[in-house]
Amino acid sequence: MNAPIPLLNDPDWTRVSALPIRENHEDLVPASLAPANLACYPAYYKLGIPNAVPECYMRRGVYQRLLAASRSLPKGLTLLVMDSWRPYSVQQYLYDTLYNAIENHWPDKPAAELEQLTREFVSLPSTNPRAPSPHLTGGSVDVTLIDEHGLMLDMGSQFDEATPWSHTAAFEQLASPTPHEQQVIANRRLLYRAMIDAGFTNLPSEWWHYDFGNQLWAWYRGQPQACYGPTHPESLESRWRQEIDRRHQ
């Protein structure tokens, strides 16, 4: 748990999006029904972001690995899921909001540079079945650690804070960290090691973002293909339609 977090390069999104997807059709499951050693707090819904869902849905394989990661933690600590499957409209809202904030701060920057700065913290919205936004696959999760009182551990920056301090290995680069910074380093290492050992990969620009099964995971694991493409929770209407179609075949 004390090994330093490696400094990884940002993803080459063009090559990430070119990786093939062989969908395995795993269903989405809700994190809120998990045992006590996995907590759920749908942050975007709580913040009132338009079209955010009041649940953290994820692929079954992701759910099982999150349970394993949480169970590996020291006594008194629990893994908290803050976001997972994300509707396209929410992805678009997050992207536009950050893009506009960056553009307002640097109005003279060209569009390509604004996009690059935005994509450091928010992926390009996409429903393309060959190159979906990572969260649209149900394979991405945003997580942190909470103590026995339900309070989040200090990770050195806020969830979704768009600053260099949110980079996973940012505090590892400090030559002489203060006692507070040493605690941040320990907390991030604890989260990182638990998630990596459970089979996830991390997005280097976000200490909270981990992937399994999607193209971003395949890129960092050196896998030839992903197994999660775009998906969505099953609605009652779609279930009824399928049942009626089967009944009248």
Query: Any idea which residues carry the catalytic annotation?
Result: 206
Q: What is the residue type of 206?
A: E
- Is 135 annotated as contributing to ligand binding? yes
In whole angstroms, give the CA distance from residue 204 to residue 153: 19
- Is 142 annotated as contributing to ligand binding? yes
Binding region for Zn(2+):
135, 142, 209
Q: Which residues are annotated as a binding site?
A: 135, 142, 209
